[in-house]
Amino acid sequence: METDTRSIDREALAQLFLQWQSGGKRIVAPKRINGKTDFARVASLDEVSLDRVQTVQSPKSAVFPRVEELFSFLSRDGKVEIRERDLAALPGTVLFGLRPCDAAAFASLAAIFTWDSPDSLFSARLANTVVVGVSCPRADEYCFCTSVGGGPGAVTGSDILLTETGSGVFLAEIVSEKGRQAVHGADGLFGPAAGMDKEGHLAKVEAAFAKERIGPALASLFDDAAFWEEQSRRCLGCGACAYVCPTCACFDIQDEGGASGKRLRCWDSCGFGLFTLHTSGHNPRPLQSQRWRQRLMHKFAYMPERQRVLGCVGCGRCSRACPVDMNILEHVRAIAEAKP
Amino acid sequence: MEALRSKARELLAGKTVQVVIGYGPGSGGGARAVFIREAAQADILVFDGTCQQNLAVYLMKPEVRKLGKAALVATPPALRTILQLAAENQLTDAALLVLAVSPSGNEVVPLATFAALEAHVAALDHGLGAADKAELETYAALSLERRRQFWEEQFSRCLKCYACRAACPLCYCTRCTVECNQPQWIPVPAHDLGNLEWNVMRAMHLAGRCVDCGDCSRACPVGIPLHLLNRKLIGAVFADFDFRSGMAAKADNAMSTFKPNDPEDFIR
Amino acid sequence: MSPADPFKPMLMKIEQVTEEAPDVKTLRLLFADEREGRDFAFRTGQFGEYSVFGEGECTFCIASPPTRPGYIECTFRKAGRVTSALAGLEPGETIGFRGPYGNVFPIEDWQKKNLLFIAGGIALPPMRSVIWNVLDLRGRYKEITIVYGARTVADLVYKRELAEWAQRPDVKLVTTVDPGGETPDWKGEIGFVPAVLDKIAPASRDTIAVVCGPPVMIKFTFPVLARLGFAPENIFTTLENRMKCGVGKCGRCNVGRHFVCKDGPVFTLAQLQEMPQEY
């Protein structure tokens, strides 16, 4: 479908919010909470905060929640009854105000969740989610979208992409069929887009490395233990980077509630020592340096090889959230520049 | 800062230590932990207001311990952390060189023994600043019901990323309580109950031990003010048992020591 | 294959519980839903995720052969939370099963060849499926040799089947226990599996070797096989890693770019040599 480009002003956008809500959709957007900007349910456009370069957490919770029930079970008289999730009851969501990097991340998530045996919960949530992105007028030193195939105004992954062009008027690119359906019946809220300049309202983000070099560089560095130890020495092995990341999808499965309870899926991180620990006590990745290496290999080598998509969109969240300043851009540059 | 750098150079060149753990320039105009192993690298060391991370956390990491004898650039909370680790038998006397640095960065006081460390720490002011005091008083003035609501809201955003645990130098258990699954004391998923149990349990495990470095709050990606829990408990332990952690290399653990004159006003 | 939702288990009734060795049990499982049981098919080498509802899931190979339909079996040692719960179950109780997952032993390619099976301790279960599979199709294979060892006589699993295999004229079975693990009436070999293998020195020509065992046994067995002239493409083994989803999503079982749950658990030594030594 060819992109349909229009314009919309703030007031009309607020109207569109109301239309989405009366259509039964919940709206999740960046909001100021506790001194930070993060995705939360919003009731109106006024609650949305777009003045930060990036939110703390990614919007992946809309399709891959922190905790979700896979199914519940009832044990009675030696028999077990499994109660599946009612996929039709999953909420319809408009994800509003995410950046182009976050929109691009859905392709990485989908690559993991839909390959081989498709994950019905993820697929149902994704089908129920409309992605309304907002392009980036500003970037900071942590951003590197242009190094991994993205850009501050890229439309990939967005159903609708808005670009603020000054005085409260947005350029609105309706990219997909889902986007078109989301504005169905709201034609009156939009105006023409003739002569609106998108490029001029986008941040300038210089590419910091050539992504084609990373895979081969990683392959040659794999056995260089000293390199990985140097990079990861200050890493404390928490899960902050994985949890704020829009493409990290590793999870754990936990049963709760005893014999009549639930099976839950929850986020997990390859940075934890427990992640690969066998019951016998054997651990294939016993050192933090090996776990750090796994993070980079998975995102920049294994995923491109197996799923044909990078596991990183250059949002920079991991670097901003890391308590000890593990700056992934810095590390990947070092990898690109390392002499084998 | 030059005093710190030349001290580091001297220690490394003379092989008095194998690594200097300090601060170097980091992203966003901040500082980050650095591990200097050669005298020539000492130029990157900095010490200013951006140097807040409690570097004592690295004293318990095998990857750092294997580098050899260390000199640690220590902020006041890190000094107390080292004494608390000593009181918990995690460090050996004279095996670590502590470099206490004045706030200006111009004076470096090397402290080679626990005794020297104790004397230095005793002379410091450990009181809360005005803003922190006001914050704690506002929190303490909340009714129990309001406090419960406050933490329910805060913990609803907890991710169970364990950044708080990872950043805390006193959370050094190689197998944390949450990693036990027979039984699963603390639920793994980050739902409301699991989050409440995790954070409250961690605060309790630190009662009588926490030195109030604040790294847990700084580390939390979603800005949960964990330090309020810890500060409240620090106040309670001091009021009830007249004990302050991190002041002596030999001290009984406050929560596992019974003294006949311990207050019993909770028994009614 | 499990239904559309990859995480929903099929319900299985425990038909029989067999104590194989101290802390080691075999469960024979029937499908609670007859249609699921009829539709179920697997190939030797594959594994499944076995649930105790309320405790969690555990990964075991399917220890019975596909040549014997109608039931599946798993053998496990009581070691952690889920295996402890499984060890406490009685016939008639219900557990869950997801599978079959993973790749297979390419037994069609092994036709007209000699087969050498080498296993240690609790690692005989992954091989039991393929051994019975080929024995059930005996005419297609030439000489079949099984070398199996455990720490002590008590630790040998599948004792009844070992006795059956020992009786068969078309199978050469060599059992061994570690020095000090023998009983006064022990008639088998005494020595570590690699040493016993070295001693019997099976011919490598036209022979496929399958090795399953604890890491230390494998480490010392591969060089013996190399000395005997086995090419890495003709040596098969199974990898085990911590698993949760079994379908290549949860991210934890990878060895380099390979997922043990999808590209394994069966690997040749030639493949292992190309993979990072991170398992």
* Per-residue pLDDT tens over the stretch C104-134: 999 999 999 999 999 998 899 989 999 999 9
CATH of residue C22's domain is 2.40.30.10
Selected residue of C58, C78, C81, C244 to mutate for chain B interface (largest B Cβ count, 10 A) = C81
Last residue of one domain, picked from the residues C47, C80, C101: C101
Looking at the fold, whether C54 and C87 belong to one and the same domain comes out as: yes
Task: Quote the tokens at residue B170.
Answer: 């006193």
Per-residue model confidence (pLDDT) at position A331: 97
Looking at the fold, whether C150 and C228 belong to one and the same domain comes out as: yes
Chain A, residues 64-93, CB within 8 A of chain C, namely 70-71, 73, 75, 78-80, 82, 84
How do the pLDDT tens digits run along chain B, 268 residues long? 899 999 999 999 999 999 999 999 999 999 999 999 999 999 999 999 999 999 999 999 999 999 999 999 999 999 999 999 999 999 999 999 999 998 777 899 999 999 999 999 999 988 899 999 999 999 999 999 999 999 999 999 999 999 999 999 999 999 999 999 999 999 999 999 999 999 999 999 999 999 999 999 999 999 999 999 999 999 999 999 999 999 999 999 999 999 888 888 888 7
pTM of the model: 0.95
Number of domain units in chain C: 2
Calculate how close chain C gets to B101, using CA atoms only, in Å. 43
Given an 8 Å threshold on Cβ–Cβ distance, is B181 in contact with C84? no
Domain boundaries, chain A: 4-201, 211-337
Residue C67 forms contact with B (CB below 8 Å): no
Residue range A101-111: mean pLDDT, rounded: 98
User: Distance of alpha carbon B160 from its chain centroid, rounded?
Assistant: 19
Helix (H) or strand (E) holding C201: none
Contact list, B188 vs chain C (CB under 8 Å): none
CATH of residue C159's domain is 3.40.50.80
Looking at the fold, whether C226 and C177 belong to one and the same domain comes out as: yes
Per-residue model confidence (pLDDT) at position B150: 96
Within 10 A of C71 (CB to CB), how many other CB atoms are there?
A: 17
Does a structural domain hold residue C226?
Answer: yes
Q: Are C132 and C68 in contact (CB under 8 A)?
A: yes
Domain enclosing residue C135, as ranges: 114-238
- Residue of chain C whose Cα is closest to the Cα of B183: C81
The contacts of residue B43 (CB under 8 Å, 6+ apart) are: B5
Per-residue model confidence (pLDDT) at position B103: 78
Does a structural domain hold residue C86?
Answer: yes
Given an 8 Å threshold on Cβ–Cβ distance, is C84 in contact with B182? yes
- State how far the Cα of A97 lies from the Cα of A76, in Å rounded to an integer: 48
B-C Cβ pairs (cutoff 8 Å, strict): 6
Least CB–CB distance from B222: residue in A36, A67, A142: A36
Residue A259 forms contact with C (CB below 8 Å): yes
pLDDT over 60 at C1, yes or no = no
Per-residue model confidence (pLDDT) at position C3: 42
Selected residue of B44, B63, B150 to mutate for chain A interface (largest A Cβ count, 10 A) = B63
Percent of chain A with pLDDT over 70: 99
User: Chains with 3 or more CB pairs closer than 8 angstroms to A?
Assistant: B, C
Per-residue model confidence (pLDDT) at position A340: 60
Residue range C173-184: mean pLDDT, rounded: 95
Domain boundaries, chain B: 2-122, 130-243
Given an 8 Å threshold on Cβ–Cβ distance, is A80 in contact with C11? yes
Residue range A191-196: mean pLDDT, rounded: 87
Per-residue model confidence (pLDDT) at position C2: 37
Task: Choose between A197 and B72: higher pLDDT.
Answer: B72
Contact list, C81 vs chain B (CB under 8 Å): 181-182, 184
Does a structural domain hold residue C135?
Answer: yes
- Of the candidates A275, A337, A251, A311, the one whose C-alpha atom is nearest the C-alpha of residue A65 is A251
Contact list, A262 vs chain B (CB under 8 Å): none
Q: Give CA separation, C112 vs C109, C140, C206, in Å.
A: 9, 6, 8
pLDDT tens-digit series, residues A251-300: 999 999 999 999 999 999 999 999 999 998 999 999 999 999 999 999 99
Does a structural domain hold residue C223?
Answer: yes
Task: Quote the tokens at residue A333.
Answer: 């540059």
Does a structural domain hold residue C274?
Answer: no
A-B Cβ pairs (cutoff 8 Å, strict): 113
Calculate the average pLDDT of chain C. 95
pLDDT over 80 at C226, yes or no = yes
- State how far the Cα of C85 lies from the Cα of C56, in Å rounded to an integer: 9
Q: Are B182 and B24 in contact (CB under 8 A)?
A: no
Looking at the fold, whether C119 and C214 belong to one and the same domain comes out as: yes
Looking at the fold, whether C198 and C120 belong to one and the same domain comes out as: yes
